[in-house]
Structure 1
Amino acid sequence: MAVLRERLQQLLEPVVEALGYELVLLEFSPSTKSGLLRLYIDSPGGITIEDCERVSREVAGQLDVEDPISSGYRLEVSSPGLDRPLVKPSHYERFVGEQARVQLLAPRDGRRRFVGWIRVAGTDAVQLETQDGLVELPYAEIDRARLVPEYDRE
C-alpha cells in the first residue's frame, strides 16, 4: 500500500506542480468496491472550484495513461481547508505561530496526541508549545498533523 501511495505521489506531484499548484497531501484508501484517491492542492492565492476541476481533469488523464490503480476508485481534488494537513517541514515552517494538532505513530511518555503552537520548524523536528511546556517532535515520528483553525479571526 505504501509503495502504491509513493508511486502515485511520484506520478501526480509533477502534474499538479506543472499546473502551478502545490500537492499538499495525497490520500489513497483502497476498497473492494470503490477506493478513494484524494488530492489536497494549494496555491498562494487560494483554491477555487475551477482550480480543483482543472487539476482533476489533468490528473485523471495521467491516471488513464499510466493506470497505476488496478481496482475501481473515485478521484477527489480539494483545497486543504482551514484545518489543513501539515505534511512537509515547509508546511510547519510556513505556519510558525499557528496552533496545530499532532498525532504520533507511537506514544511518547504515554501520549500520542499533542496540541500546541508551532514555535520552531526545523529540518528534522517541530517544536510545539503545549499547555505542559515546549515539546520537540521529530517529523519521522508524526503520523498526522493539522492546523487548528481559529474561526473568530478577522
Structure 2
Amino acid sequence: MSKVIEVVESLATPIVNELNLELVDIEYVKEGKSWFLRVFIDKENGVDIEECGLVSERLSEKLDELDPIPYNYFLEVSSPGAERPLKKEKDFEKAIGKNVFIKTYEPIDGEKAFEGVLKGFDGETVTVDMKIKTRTKTVEIPYAKVASARLAVTFS
C-alpha cells in the first residue's frame, strides 16, 4: 500500500505544484469491497471544486498511463477540510497558534490524547497549551512520539 502512495505522490506533486496548490495527504484504503484513492489538496484560502476537478482529471490521466494500482478503485480529490491533518514538520509550523488534537504512540504524563493551542514546534518538541477547567497546562510532546495530529474545530 505504501508503494501505491509513493507512486501517486510522485505523479500528483508536479500537478499540484503547477497549479500553485499543496499536496496535503494521500490515502489508499479498502472500504467494504471497494478501494479508494483519496488525494487531499489545499491552498491558502482553500480549494474550490474546479481545482479539485482539474487535479482529478490530470492525475487520472497519469494513473491510466502508468497503471500502478492492481485493483479497481475510486479516485477522490478534495480539500482536507477544517480538521486538516498535520503530517509534516511544516504543517506543525503553520499551525502554531491554532487549536490542535494530537494522539501519541505512548502515554505522556499518563495521557495519549491532547487537545489545545499549539504554542510551539522546534522540530523535536511540540508544545501545546491545554485548558483544564480554569487553568492552562503546558504539555511538551516529543515529535517522534506523535502518532497522529490534526487541526481541531472548537465551538465557543
State percent identity of aligned pairs: 36
Q: Secondary structure at the match of 1:30?
A: strand
Pair 1:135-2:139 in alignment: yes
Q: Secondary structure at the match of 1:97?
A: coil
Gaps of 5+ in 1: none
Which residue of structure 1 lines up, in the alignment, with residue 45 of structure 2? 45
Which deviations, in whole Å up to 9, do the C-alpha atoms of 1:54-101 show, x marking residues without a partner? 111011111111211111111111112111111111111112111101
Distance (whole Å) between structure 2 residues aligned to residue 57 and residue 124 of structure 1? 39
Pair 1:33-2:33 in alignment: yes
Which residue of structure 1 lines up, in the alignment, with residue 65 of structure 2? 65
Distance (whole Å) between structure 2 residues aligned to residue 143 and residue 118 of structure 1? 16
Q: Is the 8 A contact 1:33 1:72 kept in 2?
A: no
- Paired residues in the alignment total 152
4+ residue runs over 4 A deviation? none
Distance (whole Å) between structure 1 residues aligned to residue 114 and residue 122 of structure 2? 18
Distance (whole Å) between structure 1 residues aligned to residue 140 and residue 62 of structure 2? 39
Output the TM-score relative to the length of structure 2: 0.85
Gaps of 5+ in 2: none
Letter in 2 for 1:148: A
Which residue of structure 2 lines up, in the alignment, with residue 20 of structure 1? 20
| Cα deviation, residue 32, structure 1 | 7.7
Which deviations, in whole Å up to 9, do the C-alpha atoms of 1:90-144 show, x marking residues without a partner? 1111121111011123444443211111000222332111246222223332222
Letter in 1 for 2:90: S
Q: Is the 8 A contact 2:108 2:141 kept in 1?
A: no
Which residue of structure 1 lines up, in the alignment, with residue 93 of structure 2? 93
Q: Is the 8 A contact 1:85 1:146 kept in 2?
A: yes
Q: Is the 8 A contact 1:23 1:40 kept in 2?
A: yes
Output the TM-score relative to the length of structure 1: 0.86
Letter in 2 for 1:146: R
Q: Is the 8 A contact 1:118 1:127 kept in 2?
A: yes
Distance (whole Å) between structure 1 residues aligned to residue 151 and residue 56 of structure 2? 25
| Cα deviation, residue 31, structure 1 | 5.7
Larger-Rg structure: 2
Q: Secondary structure at the match of 1:77?
A: strand
Which residue of structure 2 lines up, in the alignment, with residue 149 of structure 1? 153
Distance (whole Å) between structure 1 residues aligned to residue 37 and residue 31 of structure 2? 11
